[in-house]
Amino acid sequence: MPESETVAPTEFPRRMGKVAPRELALNGYTRYEQLTRVTASELLRIHGVGPKAIRILEEELAARGLAFAES
């Protein structure tokens, strides 16, 4: 089965690359609203999610009036 059929689609931008959105989806994060319940530090513990992905997600969340949970 092709990889695109095994991972849930996400709202996250393509500029994050392929790995971060895939790994976020595999960990149950596919929508921006879900990210408001988790801290950036928690997301950084997911393999494939690094500082660049967090920066992009912070920008996207802010554009929607949202933010990561506070630690």
Compute the CA torsion angle 50, 60, 18, 33 (nearest 10 deg): 90
Give pLDDT tens digits for 36-67: 999 999 999 999 999 999 999 999 999 999 99
Contact call for residues 53 and 47 (beta carbons, < 8 A): no
Q: Residue 71's pLDDT is what?
A: 83
- CA dist 23 → 44, 63, 64 (Å): 11, 23, 22
Statement: the pTM of the whole predicted model exceeds 0.85: yes
CA gap 53, 6 in Å, rounded: 21
